[in-house]
Structure 1
Amino acid sequence: MNINLKRPLAFIDLETTGTDVVQDRIVQIAVLKAFPDGTEDVKQVKINPTIPIPLSASKVHGIYDEDVIDSPTFSQIALYFAKYIDDSDIAGYNSNKFDIPLLIAEFFRAGIDFSLEGRSIIDVQTIFHKMEPRNLKAAYKFYCNKDLVGAHDAENDIRATYEVFKAQLQQYENVPYEDNDGSISYPIQNNLESLSSFTPINLLDPTNRVIYDDEQREIFNFGKHKGKTLLQVFSKDDPGYYDWMMKGDFSVFTKKAIKKVWESIHQ
């Protein structure tokens, strides 16, 4: 169907060095501009982010440092894209939480005050989540074809969860799953070890403030030291960071994780 447009609608997608809208940078931008007459135009370019692209991010989007070494920086193409979408409303997928804030931050660093005022902003993911809710009531209806009566009563909810789980096993067992790397696996098996691997939890710190890197070293997953090992920060870069965190509003899991590393340094 044709979209009822009064002016162009620019769909924006970014590939980036990570998911922190403050610290991370764009490595690729694509804009599909839909016009009121039904025509479309697409612009895309790879960008040198001027900082290293973490391997974890490259594994997701397939763009490595060597792929963008000769690409323009965002500041070199910022004015072009600002003008390209200046007449447009804006849309994307998860764009309200990520793509738009990061794009505005990149414009700001390039000296461009790009305003969102007066534009219609559409997040396709929000429409999806609101129209196809992913709560227990919706899951119970989808998998069991039953209406959840007495939702938010603990016993009713847990019985529904149990029924949904059994229905998932029946529906998805031995069904192929494709991950972000394009690898195919069959994770839904009638054994808890396989299912646990498919629904992982960070046992080190479930709040994900501290995670393990590929070498199983504890690293920060937030803030100014994101990506650095706790050992490096506490022993060399910023020893006072430990006291700040221990006094801060962090979970008991986070504090337990950093305390273990701190005590290993000061044994």
Structure 2
Amino acid sequence: MQLNLKNPLVFFDLETTGINIVKDRIVEISYVKVFPNGKEEVKTRRINPEMPIPAESTAIHGITDEDVKDCPTFKEIAKSLAAQIEGCDLAGFNSNRFDIPLLVEEFLRAGVDLDLNKRKFVDVQTIFHKMEQRTLAAAYKFYCDKSLENAHSAEADTYATYEVLKAQLDRYPELENDIKYLSEFSSFNTNVDFAGRMVYNDKGEEVFNFGKYKGQRVEDVLKNDQGYYGWMMQGDFPLNTKNVLTQIKLRSFNSK
């Protein structure tokens, strides 16, 4: 089934130095850009993470320090990458929880202002887990009847994710071939920041999604515990989370 698109949809996958959104870096990014007319554009880039790649990460994706020593840094490709995904919706496998937050962090560190707030995000893993509870390799076998060769290479995982979504639409008639619908269906909650440290409650208010203030309105916490903002700003939180927290604090201050 060909995807019903209003905007180009970029399926992407990251290979990284680890799974810490704040500290780890991208070593490879691959994407399949699918246009509304069905045209596909595929690109893979190796990236110098400017830090050693741990052996346990190399064991997963096969990329070594030697492989990326002469590759550009993310900062060197950030502007061109931002231009390539400008105006596109984004899709991936576990992308809402990992790939998108980490990608946003890399752009912020590079000083590139990429506004993703109006984009739609389709997480194929979430659709799969809601329907079947499996992994990407199992999803590829289940939906496409193919074995996933070169698993954990960014390009193989990216293209498999694209094929799985199309097969999901074929298999489940109740799934609408509409990116807005798929974005909402593949979201477990409505994040305020990309890492999900803050979410919207059923009244559309920002509340904390972790720690001792979980479920409490962000504005109330910042008002009643004035040291909490400073603790978060100095803590090991993503830059995007800190930026969003600051916006809420300034909004509350300006409304007085």
Normalization by structure 1: what TM-score?
A: 0.50
Aligned partner letter, 2:79: L
Aligned partner letter, 1:69: K
Secondary structure of residue in 1 paired with 2:122 = strand
Which runs of 5 or more residues in structure 1 are unaligned? Answer: 135-177, 182-267
Which runs of 5 or more residues in structure 2 are unaligned? Answer: 135-148, 153-256
Secondary structure of residue in 1 paired with 2:72 = coil
Aligned to 1:81: 81
Q: Deviation of residue 133 (structure 1)? A: 4.0
Aligned counterparts of 1:98 and 1:35: Cα–Cα separation in 2 = 24
Aligned partner letter, 1:81: L
Aligned counterparts of 2:112 and 2:39: Cα–Cα separation in 1 = 28
Aligned partner letter, 1:56: E
Aligned to 1:7: 7
Q: Structure 1: which 4+ aligned runs deviate by more than 3 Å?
A: 178-181
Aligned pairs for 1:47-62 (under 5 A) are: 47-62=47-62
**Percentage of matched positions with identical amino acids:** 57
Q: Does residue 20 of structure 1 match 2:20? A: yes
Cα gap change, 1:10 to 1:180, in 2 (>3 Å): closer
Secondary structure of residue in 2 paired with 1:76 = helix
Bigger radius of gyration: 1
Cα gap change, 1:179 to 1:74, in 2 (>3 Å): closer
What does the per-residue CA deviation read over 1:18-39, in whole Å, with 9 as the maximum and x for residues that have no partner?
0001100000011110000011
Q: Deviation of residue 96 (structure 1)? A: 0.4
Q: Does residue 101 of structure 1 match 2:113? A: no
Aligned counterparts of 2:105 and 2:113: Cα–Cα separation in 1 = 9
Aligned counterparts of 1:59 and 1:34: Cα–Cα separation in 2 = 31
> Superposition RMSD on alpha carbons, in Å?
1.8
Instruction: Name which structure has the greater RCO, CA cutoff 8 Å, separation 6+.
Output: 2
What does the per-residue CA deviation read over 1:36-87, in whole Å, with 9 as the maximum and x for residues that have no partner?
0011001111000000000000010010000000000000001111010011
Q: Does residue 90 of structure 1 match 2:90? A: yes
Aligned counterparts of 2:133 and 2:23: Cα–Cα separation in 1 = 31
Aligned pairs for 1:107-256 (under 5 A) are: 107-133=107-133
Q: Deviation of residue 126 (structure 1)? A: 0.3
Aligned partner letter, 1:14: L
Aligned to 2:46: 46
Aligned to 1:241: none
Cα gap change, 1:179 to 1:6, in 2 (>3 Å): closer
Normalization by structure 2: what TM-score?
A: 0.52
